[in-house]
A and B are shown apart, each in its own frame.
Chain A
């Protein structure tokens, strides 16, 4: 019950935050710009594929920074005390944050991707093969964003300095999220969609469990 309440509350807060406004409008704008700056010949790659890779990478990194810095800042300003004196589980606070930011991010990336698909349709590139590639890149993108968000929360609960949390999220968060595409490079027989989904879910669950454990041990 408290998880749903806090999730809806966080969603309200994040949806109106400056970073999310940048994502809501910036990522679709970026998908348009990619069309103009990308070479005419993308060697068989649809615009929507390129869009999904670029926006999920940028969106994931920005979200990781936002999550880590907001958690550190809220810890330092003792925001959680007012929640924890009520019947609220610590895990709900962390899960609600993750779910709210991740949902906002998935919506922002999906909007951008729809723009990419529209551009592909106007260029006459919207073929079944392209749709498959785009769908594949979208799955990889949202799996990697899930990992990036959970890593952002990890740095948020672990460190107590906002700049340190931001730097760690930029340099490690986005780098570690690429872990889901590495096996497909070495083992061509692996299905990238299944691999991305299974690795994304497994790593996110492990990271979120660690995050909840660390957060539960902290003194407020």
Chain B
């Protein structure tokens, strides 16, 4: 069943004087999906996010949330979206509890709703112990969780996270991802930006890659991996103390064969190779020579390699 579209960017452009921050970007995010938005620093991620949450209102094109243009519905947008900014601070005199009280009231919640939601969020974000601590005494990781907490306070339909894992230690990253995965199981649509691919790849249903203000590609992590083969390589692992297959490089479509270990070979196919024919011929040769196999794999690029290839980085 097709999910209805929750967020849609239609030919959106934004420039800061002469700098083109977003160049005619278009994409859709279905309801309930976790959308990972990645790109290097300065690619246009934060500009996209600030347009979505209504902090930038001067742009070209249309942004639709639940089918309605946000430019006509700023008030509704405030209630629909919860926003975790990249680096927003809190006034130094506030305690964690005061943060929830103030932002809860400003979001239109009653005192009872604020109390209920505060307890739920403190439990979810593991911040219960610091409820009455001043925000200046919180660690960087706790502040990130507090930013997430204030975004969830009014039970938004859409959660926008701008680089939420930046500056967190591995333990905090794990906790944060766990929270996001938990939220992802509900109906909430999550827009999650990062400049580090590994941050989003194990939580996102779909990944969009942006560079220099342009969307380069959008797809599921698996689709991105399979559609971006860096080179056609077949990895063959043999049983220990057995001989490797000979003369594979004489087969059609084979460029060269690399013997990595005593029981491992990498078969590099030619650029114009038909992968299916090549695999059949290699397997035939292996069986003819009575080779004892343990593994036979078409090597696919890692998402990191796909990302680097798309944004113009170097791969090893």
Contact = CB atoms under 8 A, between A and B. Distances in A.
Given A78-B88, A79-B90, A79-B91, A85 B54 contact: yes
Interface residues of A, number: 22
A9 B104 CA distance: 13
Interface stretch (B24-32, B77-85, B224-232, B303-311): B77-85
Contacts of A85: 53-55, 78, 81, 83
Given A85-B53, A85-B55, A5 B108 contact: no
Contact of A86 (B56, B87, B93, B103): B103
Most chain B CB atoms below 10 A, which of A6, A83, A85? A85
A83 B87 contact: no
A13 B93 contact: yes
B150 interface: yes
A172 interface: no
Interface of A: 2, 5-6, 9, 12-13, 16-17, 74, 77-79, 81-88, 219-220
A82 B78 CA distance: 11
A9 B95 CA distance: 12
A13 B106 CA distance: 17
Given A77-B88, A78-B85, A83 B93 contact: no
Interface of B: 53-56, 75, 78, 81, 83, 85, 87-91, 93-94, 102-103, 105-108, 150
Contacts of A74: 89, 91
Give the dominant DSSP class at B's interface: loop
Contacts of B87: 77-78
B37 to A, nearest CB: 18
Given A5-B105, A77-B88, A87-B106, A82 B150 contact: yes
Given A85-B53, A85-B55, A220-B55, A13 B105 contact: no
Nearest to B154: A86
A84 B90 contact: no
